[in-house]
Amino acid sequence: MEKKLVQIGLMGLGTVGTGVVRIVEGHQEDLFNQTGLSVNIHKILVQDKNKYRNITIDPDKITTNPADLLDNPEIDIIVEVIGGIQPTKDYLIKALENKKHVVTANKDLMALHSSEILRKAQENNCDVFYEASVAGGIPILRALVEGFSSDRITKMMGIVNGTTNYILTKMSKEGAEYQDVLAEAQALGYAEADPTSDVEGYDAARKMAILSTLGFRVPMNLEDVQVKGISQVTKEDIAYGKKLGYEVKLLGIARRDDDEVEVSVQPTMIQKNHPLASVNGVYNAVYVHGEAVGETMFYGPGAGEMPTATAVVSDLITVVKNMKLGVNGRGTVAPYKEKKLKSDGKKFAKYFMRIIVADRRGVLAQITNLLAEKNVSLDQVIQQSYQESGQAEIVMVTHTATQQDVNVVIQTLEGMDVIHQIKSCYRVEGGEKNE
């Protein structure tokens, strides 16, 4: 007998889970017309049955026992929006072993364990989709898996954290200090009381691990991502960047050359004419360069109840369509390429440096001579008096150099008597073709 009703087990009834219920229950006609099957949320796993929620749910659907979902033969698909690593990972593995398809919004889990989960899905001919785990309102993961399936992606750059983009946008537009804007972001609910995950780049790093795993078909782990946050970015850095034609963004950067990859998250000077430079506020964007297609960019809201819930339900619809066609599991591809990480000597970029020096003749010449010795040449230089007498400020942008050579330059500068302080050093993007 042909299946006519698809039963969903929903794990979590917080902000996103509530949005999923609203969409599924409010769009029944659309879901049926898109999939040819009726979709019903059969059971919902919560921690506290008695907690107040701003949505009316049949009490018989609510449970605190995960087995009511995972071991229930009526349930076809598990939708997970509870977050965390454990016991969530065990739940999803159990679901796949019980031949249940999985849709998740869990970036932490997928950044750490996507390879294992995808292999388990392959073994059991199950679908696993996790579009909502990166840039909630942008269909970037499906684009990487399906839209670029015949292309070879060489570079991805992403603004994938709305909190940090809001902070840097306000600093840029208003000339404000980091701490003042962070406090405002917390008051508005854009930043958590403990903002560490966002402002130190860890949230973005998880998302870049997921993007690079899918885009390069390589099993990238969170520890493979070089991470630097925005807490040390100053309004002076941003002002000098503007003067030289750049905006400062927290960019996730993933690049592949000759099967060797590099992935990082760091404050980056990006040229004002690059599309990513104009992505402001809490919006996200991901720039993708493919050998065949060239440059593309995906833009939209990165978080929030309905954008994220929409991404979850979009994945849910795909699973149901696959069920109707009998092709579940065929599109689930675990990473199959060997991971080869670039050494610092193979990571090429331009760099912005801001240095406080002794205000005397010949200092700039000493610096340029050092740079030449270390294979680093200059593209732009600004020199002016600093706020304290006897000091000067030098701001410079290098031509393309290796990270290894730039690291040696910084170490050498720190040991020179004429160098009082290296204020900042940022990667520069957007000035070369295909960046």
Contacts of residue 119, defined as CB under 8 A and 6 or more positions apart, other chains included, come to 334
Instruction: Kindly report the number of other CB atoms within 10 A of residue 48's CB atom.
Output: 10
Q: Are 35 and 54 in contact (CB under 8 A)?
A: no
Round to whole Å and give the CA distance between 118 and 128: 7
Give the bridge partners for 253, in sequence order: 157, 264
Q: Is the peptide bond before 139 cis (omega within 30 degrees of 0)?
A: no
Structure tokens at 409: 């330059």
> How distant is the alpha carbon of residue 235 from its chain centre?
24
* 359's tokens: 């205000």
Answer left, alpha or beta for residue 98, where phi above 0 means left and psi between -120 and 50 means alpha: alpha
Q: Shortest CA distance to 222 belongs to which of 204, 241, 240?
A: 204
Q: State the Cα–Cα distance between residues 252 and 270, nearest whole angstrom.
A: 12
Q: Is 207 a known active-site residue?
A: yes
The DSSP call for residue 326 is T
Packing angle, helices 202-216 and 107-123, rounded to 10: 30
The residue whose two tokens read 């249940």 is 100
Mark 108-132 as b/e (b = at least 16 C-beta within 10 Å): bbbbbbbbebbebbbebebbbbbbb
Among residues 94, 107, 170, 207, the one annotated as catalytic is 207
Provide the annotated active-site residues. 207
